[in-house]
Each structure stands twice: as structure tokens, then as C-alpha cells.
Amino acid sequence: PHLAALVLARGGSKGIPLKNIKLLAGVPLIGWVLRAAIDAGVFHSIWVSTDHDEIEKVAKQFGAQVHRRSPEVSQDSSTSLEAITEFLNHHREVDIVGNIQATSPCLHPSDLIKVADLIQKEGFDSVFSVVRRHQFRWSEVKKGENKMTEPQNLNPAKRYRRQDWPGELYENGSFYFAKRHLIEKGYLQGGKMAYYEMRAEHSVDIDIDIDWPIAEQRVLSFGYFGKEPLKEVKLLVCSIDGCLTNGRIYVTEDHKEMVSYDYRDIVGIDLLKKRGIQVRLISDRDCSKTLSAMQLGCVAKVNVTNKLQVLKDWQEDMGLSWKEVAYLGNEESDVECLKQAGMSGVPADGCAAAQKAAGYICKSRGGCGAVREFAEHIFLLLEKVNSARKQ
């Protein structure tokens, strides 16, 4: 049977404009679930249903196919079932739909693999995700009603200790898998049903803007970053023009060049060095005088025609694996380096090709704190590496 992953990503959002492609820990929100779906390796096709050009662009960057949904199922009042049904009407080859929520950035491929087995090998018609919660519920008393609240799932005279109570299962909305015949009858849950219990730390749902900073920390701690395990970064290579500087060159009347940089980026470089991470600089043009004036104390290579070859030479000389190399670039000449490095980033104003190739897109522009921001991102991921080692 043809199992298709389907992510519904409407352009409109009552809470956060274009929430589905807003950057979360340097990656568009929808990118986290698409990465997990692709690496799961259980789907015959992976789709994003959208009505928005920018969402379509991001979806394709992450390797998904795009179904352009109609205006009729793109309204605030439109339901997920309506959008899924429309998708099935256009794709008769699909037998089973795995509807994955774009707002669940801590989803892991291992979850999707197990769910695919439940519905393909064990014969379930529908499988949905749940999370276990240990919360005591009480009946609601509306304003003006003259009555008392009542306990719903506890005896107040004999309250459970958390460790003595298994808790209750709640839908977390991360995904809903269902067979075509069920959806065509108007159900996402029905027939022979099963739930799949996700780990609490992986159950992250972003609904309101205030959740965003919390979600970023959760993703950095518990998110899925790729098939290969993260390694400790030992080398950061940074493109000078457009990353360390804003790319502008000022020329005086006596033909001298001047550039500007952000002191925060210099602090970021110093912090990296203190953590034992080498920082090296690279440039397409000859800016040796500028570097000398900045007095950064970093190895630099200027007037470079093949940045990837220089990066390979440095990586081999230091005896590093690619997972131990980070690269910050912003131009088309950086694209191959961004693809090769284990950790890659671009400033917010990096070119489209560089943004597509990078794993992290900074909120800061080049020359305006992007190096410092990328350094902070490296430190957060190093904490994840150290945490994994302890476990």
C-alpha cells in the first residue's frame, strides 16, 4: 500500500503570521518534521499541502512534494479532514495518509517507523499520537452557578503520588495515520484503532508566540538533527565579507578601503576560542590589510578561488571528521562548503542558494551579530552532545 506523509501548512495563521516557516532554532518550523519524515524511510511519498508560495518554496528545499490546496479548504474554518480529503481526491495512488502536524518540531523518525508498522503490518486502520500526563482534573463551575466543583479523576482524600499513578493519555496532535477508506467515510480515527505514546519531552506543540523561546530550548535538547550523531565542533570557518562584515566596502578619496564589523562578533570569536574551537577566516578577495587591522589572531586565507578545497585542506591537516567542522557562509561560493560541513549557518541576509544549503539561518544579518549568534548555536548543540555522552 502507498503510504504518504502529508503536512498541512496553510499560509494564514491567527496566532503567528506564516508560523509554519518561521525559524525555530535556525530551521523553518516545517523543516523539523519534514526531516524526520524523510529520514524515517517508510513513506512512498512526502507532501506538503499549502496555499502559499513561500511555504511551497521551503517545502521543496527540504525535499517534499507540494499539493496546492484550493481556496475552499484554505479558510480559517476549514478542517484538517477537508484538506486531507481534497489531497486524496487528487492522488488516487495513495492508500494510507500519515498526517503530520507542522507544529511538532521534536518528532523523531523512530516514532514514525513504529507507527508505520502498526498500520501496515499489524492491520490497524488508524493510529494517532498521545502523551501521558499526570494532571488532576476538576469539573468546571461557570460564573453565577451556585454549586461546587467536583473531582474528575481523583479522590481528594487519597491523592496519588505521581510515582504511584500511571497518569492519563491525551492526544498531542503530532500525527494521525489513517487508511483511505476511513477518511473517505469522514473519519481520521476509526475502524481498528491504536494510539502511539510519544515521550513527553518529544511532545512539543507550538500554538502561541510565547511558546516559541521555550520550544527552541526543547528542540535544541530533544529535537532530531539527522541520522548521524552530533559531534563536538573543533573548527569554525567563517566567510569574511557578508558574515564577519556586512559586505559593504567604503572607499576613501585616497583609494583606501574601509569595512565595519560588530564587536559582538569579535566577542563570539573569543568565546569560541576559549571553548577550544579554532576559528579560521576565508574570503574570495584580498582583504589581508583589513584583517591585519582587526587583529583577530585567526588563521585566514584570502583571495580564494576554491573555498571547498581550502576547507578540505584545513579539515585534513587538523585530522577532523566533517562532523567536527562548522561553516558560516553567505554567498554562492560558500554553498559547497555549507553542504560539506557537519554544522552550517548563514546570516539572515545570505543569498537564497546559501540559505537552502545551510542547517541554521541566523536571525542576525551579516556584520550585525551573526557570528556571535552562530557561536551561541554551536554552544547549545555542544550541550546536547555532552548530555548524550552522559546518558
Cell 502536524 belongs to which residue?
101
Are 373 and 333 in a shared domain?
Answer: yes
The answer to whether residues 217 and 249 belong to one domain is no
Residue 338 sits in a domain of what CATH number? 3.40.50.1000
Please, what is the average pLDDT of the chain?
Answer: 89
Q: What is the pLDDT of residue 104?
A: 92
Question: Among 133, 159, 199, 248, which one carries the catalytic annotation?
Answer: 159
pLDDT score recorded for residue 157: 86
Greater confidence, 227 or 21? 21
Residue 152 counted as domain residue: yes
C-alpha cell at 124: 490497524
Same domain, 333 and 366: yes
**For residue 389, pLDDT beyond 60:** no
Which helix H or strand E contains 265, and what residues bound it?
helix 263-274
φ/ψ region of 164 (left if φ > 0, alpha if ψ in -120 to 50, else beta) reads alpha
CA–CA dist 325, 56 (Å, integer):
31
Judgement on whether residues 216 and 247 belong to the same structural domain of the protein: no
Owning domain of residue 317:
235-389
Other C-beta atoms lying within 10 Å of the C-beta of residue 131: 21
Residue 54, C-beta contacts closer than 8 angstroms, at least 6 positions apart: 11, 18, 21
State whether 205 and 248 are in the same domain: no
DSSP designation for 353? H
Residues 215 and 311 in one domain: no
- Furthest C-alpha separation in the chain: 87
Q: 355 lies in a domain?
A: yes
Cα 231–Cα 237–Cα 242 angle in degrees, nearest 5: 130
Q: Is 48:66 a contact under the CB 8 Å cutoff? A: yes
Report the number of distinct structural domains present in the chain: 2
Average pLDDT over residues 175-182: 96
Looking at the structure, tell me whether residues 374 and 249 fall in a common domain: yes
CATH label of the domain that carries residue 122: 3.90.550.10
Q: 153 with 285, same domain?
A: no
Q: For 277, phi and psi rounded to 5 degrees? A: -100, 120
Nearest partner of 85 among 182, 195, 2, 192, judged by Cα: 182
Rg (CA), the chain: 25
Do 196 and 132 lie in a common domain? yes
Per mean pLDDT, which range of 14-18, 174-178, 295-299 is the poorest? 14-18
Q: What pTM does this model have?
A: 0.75
Type and span of the H or E element at 216: helix 212-222
Residue 153 lies in a domain: yes
Residue 23 and residue 162 in one domain: yes
Active site residue 162: no
- The tens digit of pLDDT for each residue in 348-370 reads 999 989 998 888 899 899 999 99
Is the pLDDT assigned to residue 391 strictly greater than 60? no
Residue 228 lies in a domain: no
- Most confident among 11-25, 253-267, 352-366 (mean pLDDT): 352-366
Which tens digits make up the pLDDT trace of 195-236?
Answer: 999 998 898 887 655 577 788 888 878 888 877 666 789 999
* Least reliable range by pLDDT among 170-174, 180-184, 229-233: 229-233
| Sign of CA pseudo-dihedral 13, 15, 17, 20 | negative
Predicted pLDDT at 269: 93
Q: Scan for cell 555522552, then name that residue.
A: 389
Q: Does residue 245 sit in the same domain as residue 338?
A: yes
Whether residue 310 sits in one domain with residue 218? no
Letter string b/e over residues 371-387, b meaning 16 or more CB atoms within 10 A of that residue's CB: bbbbbebbebbbebeee
Is 230 among the domain residues? Answer: no
Q: For position 14, what pLDDT does the model report? A: 65
Is position 312 within any domain?
A: yes
pLDDT above 90 covers what percent of the chain?
59
Instruction: Give pLDDT tens digits for 324-333.
Output: 999 999 999 9
Determine the pLDDT at residue 387: 63
